[in-house]
Structures are given as C-alpha cells and as structure tokens.
A and B are shown apart, each in its own frame.
Chain A
C-alpha cells in the first residue's frame, strides 16, 4: 500500500498556497504509507535550472558545486536543507546531472529541471514535510507520496517521487513485474537510473519517451503498452499533470476538478480538505485511460 496525492492549480491566485494546500492532503495519506515520504514542487515564477540532490549529512556541498563548475564551466549556487541540497546550475543540466552521478556516488540527484524541486525522507510523512518546509512552498503544481515499502527496503532512495528526466517526475502505487527487463532496455538507450526501485524504471521510461519527442499523453499511452504490473501513477511535467491506472485497476485513485484546481489522491479523504471541494466534479479514473492536464508541450530535451 502507498498513498499518492497531487494538486495542479488552474487559478494562479492559489500558487502562494500550493504547499499549504498539499500538506493536509499528504497528512491524510500517512496511514497508507507511514515509512517514508517525498514531494515534488513545481515552482512558479522565472525558470531556475536546479538539481535537487541528497547525500550524507557530512557531504561537502561546496566541494560538489566547485567540481560541477570545473567540469561544466557553469556557475553553481548551493542551498542546503538537512541532507538535501538544491544546486542552481547556470548551464547544461543533463551534463551536470551526469557529472554528479559519475563523480559523487554518495550523492543522489533526485530531480533536475527549471521548475521542479524534490524532497524525500524516511519516517513520518509530516516530519518529512516539516523538515523541508512543504507548507510554505509556492508553485504551480505538486505531487507527493507516502510509502509502505513492499518490493525494496525502507531507504531514502526508495522514497518517491522519482525523476530521471528534466522537470518530469512520477509517484507510483503498486508494483511492476517487468522492471528488470525495462531497466536494461532503458539503460541501453542512455537513461541513467540511480536506485534498484521498480518505480524509478517507470519514471525513466516516461523520461525516455519524452526525450524521443513524445508528449506526456503519448508517453503514457506507450507506458500502457510496456509497463506490466500494478500501478496507479501520477506524473508531473514542467506544465502538465497526469494520472494513469493499469487496466486491472487494483490500486485506488480519485480525481476531483474545480475551476481552480485538479486534485488526485489515493482516497477521497485526502481531497476533502481542499477549498471549494463541495462544488468539485469527483470521479474515479477509469482503468487504462490517460487523464492529463496542462501543456502538451514537449519536455525540453536538456
């Protein structure tokens, strides 16, 4: 069991409150996944190319930034929170991500992109939310996950969301049965995975499809054909938001939409605290049907 929530704001007036609206949603899903949690926020405002990273507390992030500057020629600013660091990179993000993974094996790059920031941790989901200041974060959309580990250990690297492509991330409730095969397939095509987790393979699959030119919608249709197993997925891109359930649809999902927002959650109770919910259109997403909002713009092939 795991819990998923997602919130895509249509009304820009709500953007300063994105985190404040998401925190109660995440809290409500604690029972579905009390062992670890994580969230992705898509910042509003000007693009700011960023690598979200996590590493041991002793990590010398200044040295990491210096190495990155030396390798890529790009100026790097560092912002640290607990065991995370946000590296603002004024240069080629894909190259910077590859350099970090190559040079600093103890560092995990959890996200890269112009708007996305990802934070994750082990333990009570609300502790994770507090540590990383979810409630005070603003943005256009966000997705979050509470995990009850089944396929792999309770480690920070098993926490969702997973992201391997620019400004693209995914949370997953379920388990994939063909992730070993797909991992080899994707690695042969240049995708760089950092964990043994099945959900990261799904994220990498979408990142690969979008790098090949698919829109988010097209990538999800491809996923329907290639992912084998149980899944309810919620996906964020720079300006998009999507939900997909496998054709057997054992894993729950509820969608709700008003003029101001689109919300997704494993259970309605996580959506219940949202403003205007009494007038929302609420439905259960159909098995094997792609639901998406926002830009059909292709992900930037960074």
Chain B
C-alpha cells in the first residue's frame, strides 16, 4: 500500500513499513519528507529517482539512501553498513558516523559523512564524491575507479589499495598506503577541487593542509614483459 501523501509529509516508521515508506518516497516527484523513528531499520529511502528532500530523524541500518538519484537525503544520526551504495546522483548526508562500505560503487553525486566512516569507505567508487568530516577506516577507496574521497581527519591502514583513477585527499595522517597507492603532488587545481568539495559538503578546513594520493598505475596495466609467461 502506498500512503496517500505525495509530495510532502511525515512518515512515522513506528507505524509504517519500510516498503510503504519507500514506495511513497519513490512515487513523489518533488517535495520534502521526514522519516521519524527509523530505529536502525535497513534500506530506508532507497531507490529514489526524483529531486525530493528526505530527512531521517535518527539512526539508520544498512543501505540507507542506496541507489539514490537526484534526491537529497539527510540522516540525523549514524548510518549502518553500505550507506548510499551505488549512488548515481543527488546528495546523501549523515550527521553522525557511517559504518563500513559507505558510498560503495557510487557512480555520481555526493556523500557527506560529518563524523567518522569505518572500513572500506568508497570501496570501488566509480565517480561519486565522498567528503568525510572525521576519519576513515582501513581499506578505504579499495579499487576506487573514479571520483574523489576527501577526508578531513585520518585514514586507516591500506588506503587506496589497488586504486584506479579515483583521487584521495587526506588532511590528517595515513596509517599505511595500500598496494599501488602513492602520494602525489598537490597542485593548485587540487587545492581548488578540495575547497569546492568541502564547500558543497558544508565542511570546512584549510584546503592547503590536504595531501593527495592516487594510483601508481603499476598494478592495472598489463606488463608487456610478462607476455612470455603465456
């Protein structure tokens, strides 16, 4: 059953199923919605394809804001595993912390985590921009293909392991770089990019304090010297 409200309203998850809530949000073409009492439920506000605004009042479970297109989703709390996984466009914001694999495989749009993100943030990202106010856990940006990961705090071990062409900017310390991930020169255009991404995220720090990391490109090209092995 889809609820009667279309383009605005309060959805209370203590008396509405996640399926009903998501069907309502997916049917709306514009407007602003509030989800009350999320209680850590999974798959909230997933698959939205229109420019609606959604505010979730509390902590969410797995895959919140997944597959988002055009919508602006704000979670006032923490998010579980797989926040905004496979985001295509729009914005998914968390005011607290996000669990592992935030922004995984995201193709576009913006993911903002005002607190910390745990392990594997931006794993296999394909064009999404991710801005984290705090720290990111181990193996963040693993196999990241495109897009930008901006971390205002520190990064855990094995940052950017097996990275392709995504760019990582970290203001604090990096515990250990992953295989084939190296530090690169921070040129003026990178400082401008970091400033612009922080501005969109509403998080602020001196963009000149960031260091840039990316692929050494030793891992993903076939080495012709190895041709004889076949």
Give the B-binding residues of A (Cβ under 8 A).
249, 252, 254, 267-273, 282-284, 286-287
Out of B59, B100, B118, B119, name the residue touching A268 (CB < 8 Å).
B59
Shortest Cβ gap from B153 to chain A (Å):
14
A38→B116 CA distance, assembly (Å):
33
Residue B202 is within 8 A (CB to CB) of chain A in the complex:
no
Distance, CA A116 to CA B86, complexed state (A): 46
B99 touches A271 (CB 8 A): no
The answer to whether the Cβ of B190 comes within 8 Å of any Cβ in the partner chain is no
Q: Are A282 and B100 in contact (CB under 8 A)?
A: no
Measured CA separation A195–B194 after assembly (Å): 56
Q: Answer yes or no: B39 CB below 8 A from chain A CBs.
A: yes
Chain B neighbourhood of A270, CB < 8 A: 40
Complex CA–CA separation, A268 to B61 (angstroms):
7
| Chain B nearest CB, measured from A280 CB (Å) | 10
Interface hub of A254, A269, A270, A282 (most chain B Cβ within 10 A): A269
How many angstroms from the CA of A271 to the CA of B80 in the assembled complex? Answer: 13
Whether A267 and B138, one on each chain, are in contact in the complex, defined by CB atoms closer than 8 angstroms, is no
For the complex with contacts A252-B81, A272-B59, 11 further pairs of A-B residues with Cβ separation under 8 Å are A249-B118, A252-B99, A252-B100, A267-B40, A267-B80, A268-B78, A269-B42, A272-B39, A273-B39, A282-B96, A286-B137
Q: What's the nearest-Cβ distance from chain B to residue A194, in Å?
A: 34
Bound together, the chains give a CA A267 to CA B100 distance in angstroms of 12
Among B40, B80, B118, the most chain A Cβ lie within 10 Å of the Cβ of B40
Cβ contacts under 8 Å, B39 to chain A: 269, 272-273
**In the complex, are the beta carbons of A283 and B97 less than 8 A apart?**
yes
Q: State the Cβ distance, B144 to closest chain A Cβ, in Å.
A: 19
Asked if B100 and A249 make an inter-chain contact with CB atoms under 8 angstroms apart, the answer reads yes
Q: How far is the CA of A141 from the CA of B81 in the complex (A)?
A: 27
Residues of A within 8 A of B59 (CB): 268, 272, 282
Output the nearest chain A residue to B138 by Cβ-Cβ distance.
Answer: A287
Given A249-B100, A252-B99, are A287 and B81 also a contact pair (CB < 8 Å)?
no
Report the nearest B residue to A269, measured CB to CB. B40
Q: How far does the alpha carbon of A269 sit from the alpha carbon of B42 in the complex, in Å?
A: 9
Q: How many residues of B contact A (CB 8 A)?
A: 18
Binding site for A on B (CB under 8 A): 39-42, 59, 61-62, 78, 80-81, 96-97, 99-100, 118-119, 137-138
Judging by beta carbons under 8 Å apart, are B40 and A284 in contact? no
Residue numbers in B under 8 Å from A273 (CB-CB): 39
The 10 closest A-B pairs by CB, nearest first: A269-B40, A268-B40, A272-B39, A272-B40, A268-B59, A284-B118, A269-B61, A284-B99, A249-B119, A269-B39
Inside 8 A of B138's CB, which chain A residues have their CB? 249, 287
Whole-angstrom distance between the Cβ of B195 and the nearest chain A Cβ? 30
Taken together as a complex, chains A and B put the C-alpha atoms of A84 and B81 apart, in Å, by: 38
With A284-B97, A284-B99, A287-B119 in contact, do A267 and B61 touch (Cβ < 8 Å)?
yes
A271's nearest neighbour on chain B, judged by CB, is B40
Shortest C-beta distance, B89 to chain A (Å), equals: 28
Q: How far apart sit A273 and B81, CA to CA, in the bound complex (Å)?
A: 20
CB distance from B37 to the nearest CB of A (A): 9
CB distance from B76 to the nearest CB of A (A): 12
Minimal Cβ-Cβ distance residue in B for A278: B58
Complex-state Cα separation, A268 to B83, whole angstroms: 14
- The closest CB in chain A to the CB of B59 belongs to A268
Contacts of A272 in B (CB 8 A): 39-40, 59
Bound-state Cα–Cα, A252 to B96, Å:
17
CB B97 to nearest CB in A, in angstroms, measures: 7
A249: chain B residues at CB < 8 Å are 100, 118-119, 137-138
Nearest opposing residue in chain A for B98, CB measure: A284
Q: Which residues of B contact A286 (CB under 8 A)?
A: 137
Q: Which residue on chain B has the smallest CB distance to residue A253?
A: B99
Measured in the bound complex, the distance between the Cα atoms of B39 and A268 in whole Å is 8
Complex CA–CA separation, A120 to B78 (angstroms): 33
The docked-state distance in angstroms from the alpha carbon of A254 to that of B81 is 11
A28 CA / B99 CA spacing, docked (Å): 19
Which B residues touch A267, using CB under 8 A? 40, 61-62, 80
Q: Are B78 and A287 neighbours in the complex by a CB distance under 8 Å?
A: no
- How far apart are B65's CB and chain A's nearest CB, in angstroms? 16
Report the minimum CB–CB distance from A236 to chain B (whole Å): 23
A5 smallest CB distance to B (angstroms):
13
CB pairs A–B below 8 angstroms (10 shown): A249-B138, A252-B100, A267-B80, A268-B80, A269-B42, A269-B61, A273-B39, A282-B78, A283-B97, A286-B137
Which residue of chain B lies nearest to A265 when distances are taken between CB atoms in the complex?
B40
Shortest CB-to-CB span from A281 to chain B, Å, is: 11
| Residues in B whose Cβ lies below 8 Å from that of A269 | 39-42, 61
Report chain B residues within 8 Å CB of A283.
97
User: Quick one: closest A residue to B135, CB to CB?
Assistant: A286
